[in-house]
């Protein structure tokens, strides 16, 4: 799963719209939209703000593989 899809999935599961996440995180809605459309990767500071607003650890943005 791409970063953009993972980010969008996390945001949707949180029950927040892009605008609500923007208000809660202080990250512009245009940046959030750009991330979800695959055109932008957030810098460290925005990723931290977004993770805090979503109530997750920044590592949750990373794709995790399960080894069986």
Classify residue 58 as exposed, middle or buried by CB count within 10 Å of its CB (0-12, 13-18, 19+): middle
Higher pLDDT, 49 or 40: 49
The DSSP secondary structure of 7-53, one letter per residue, reads: HHHHHHHHT--HHHHHHHH---HHHHHHHHTTS----HHHHHHHHHH
- pTM of the entire predicted model: 0.86
- Mean pLDDT score of the chain, rounded to an integer? 89
Answer whether residue 68 shows pLDDT above 50.
no
Would you tell me how many other CB atoms lie within 10 Å of the CB of residue 5? 12
Answer whether residue 21 shows pLDDT above 90.
yes
Region 6-33 average pLDDT: 96
Region 10-22 average pLDDT: 97
HSE toward the beta carbon, residue 18, CA cutoff 13 A:
12
- How would residue 23 be classed by pLDDT, with cut points 50, 70 and 90? very high
């Amino acid at each position: 799963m791409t970063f953009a899809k993972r980010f969008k999935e996390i945001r949707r599961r949180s029950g927040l719209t892009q605008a609500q996440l923007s208000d809660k995180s202080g990250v512009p809605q245009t940046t959030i939209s750009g991330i979800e459309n695959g055109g932008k990767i957030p810098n460290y500071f925005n990723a931290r703000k977004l993770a805090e607003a979503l109530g997750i650890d920044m590592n949750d943005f990373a794709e995790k593989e399960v080894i069986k």
